[in-house]
Amino acid sequence: MTHGSLTIVGTGITLIAQITSEAEAWITSADKTFFLVMHPLAEQWMLELNPRAESLSRFYTPGRDRAEVYRDIADCVLAAVRAGHTVCAAFYGHPGVFVSPTHDMVRQARAEGYPVRMLPGISAEDCLFADLDLDPGVQGCQSYEASDFLIRPRRFDPATPLILWQVGVIGYFDVIDPSLDPAKGLAALEATLRRSYPAEHQITLYEAALLPTSDPTITHIRLDQLPLATITPLATLYIPPVAAPAVDEAMLESLDNRR
């Protein structure tokens, strides 16, 4: 009996430009390749790499609960693994970052004894670091999904950079509808952030470039302008520090190895 296996890969955010040769090799050579990408040109490109590849976008029916969609995706991919195939599942960006079904696949396939690997890809966060010239090694970095940030309050540090993901779909847990109005969620987010930042604090709405010929979308606004901002479901919010973090002089002196 042929024993199935699962390899999960990322295609990067920007079409073609950000995929690794290792990921491309798995997409091309697998018995069964499944994919979920963000742009029609990306779908066309995936089929050029492997004409037998199958899109997982068919599970995204408007109005469906996203958790149900993720379960269907995982079940579809795992069925091919159980049938004894060498399976590749390709997702845009990094396959382990904001891709819930991949983690379900990994846990379930490993529990059933199948070989599993996940290969990294360039994520939207990697693009943000480059496009906004942000180095998380300088002042650290805090990163939260926006709805989760609001419904599970965190003790965060306004002196450290803050990244909030999916600010365009706050409180919306179904398959994304183009008619979605983000204003209510943005107003709730602005009210929460105003407890730690002044109204005039400059924040940045960001979207990575999907095509090599396009530029990222970078919009700087005041915090109090957030509820009226025009954004898409792909938008990410970057909030720079409101002040430099304090230095513990006693600790600094005790750690100074020049003494």
Among candidate residues 52, 60, 66, 154, the one labeled active-site is 66
Fold of 5-118: Cobalt-precorrin-4 Transmethylase; domain 1 (3.40.1010)
Could you report the per-residue pLDDT of 78-114, keeping only the tens digit for each? 999 999 999 999 999 999 999 999 999 999 999 999 9
What number is the average pLDDT over the span 18-44? 95
The answer to whether 239 and 164 are in contact (CB under 8 A) is yes
Rounded Cα distance between 259 and 257, Å, is 5
Rounded Cα distance between 25 and 31, Å, is 12
Q: Where are the domains of the chain?
A: 5-118, 124-239
> What percentage of the chain has pLDDT greater than the value 70?
99
- Give me the sign of the Cα torsion angle 70, 75, 76, 81: positive
What number is the average pLDDT over the span 218-230? 96
Q: What is the dihedral of CA 70, 75, 80, 86, to 10 degrees?
A: 50
Active site residue 92: yes
Active site residue 206: no
Q: Report the candidate in 221, 197, 6, 181 with the shortest Cα–Cα distance to residue 102.
A: 6
Mean pLDDT (the chain) is 94
Among candidate residues 52, 58, 64, 70, the one labeled active-site is 70
Classify residue 46 by its DSSP letter: H
Q: Report the candidate in 183, 142, 188 with the shortest Cα–Cα distance to residue 165.
A: 142
The answer to whether 85 and 14 are in contact (CB under 8 A) is no
Could you report the per-residue pLDDT of 147-194, keeping only the tens digit for each? 999 999 889 999 999 999 999 999 988 887 777 889 999 999 999 999
Q: Which residues pair with 34 in a beta bridge?
A: 54, 89
Domains 5-118 and 124-239 are alike in CATH topology: no
- Give me the sign of the Cα torsion angle 89, 131, 232, 204: positive
The DSSP-derived string for 54-119 is: EESGGG--TT-BHHHHHHHHHHHHHHHHHTT-EEEEEESB-TTSS-HHHHHHHHHHHHTT--EEE-
Among candidate residues 52, 58, 92, 222, the one labeled active-site is 92
| Beta strands at 86-91 and 5-10: parallel, antiparallel or unpaired | parallel
Tokens of 126: 């990697």
Q: What is the pTM of this model?
A: 0.90
Count helices and strands (H / E) in the chain: 9, 10
28 pLDDT band, cuts 50/70/90, is very high
- What's the CATH number of domain 124-239, 3.30.565.10, 1.10.760.10, 3.40.50.300, 3.30.950.10? 3.30.950.10
Active site residue 194: no
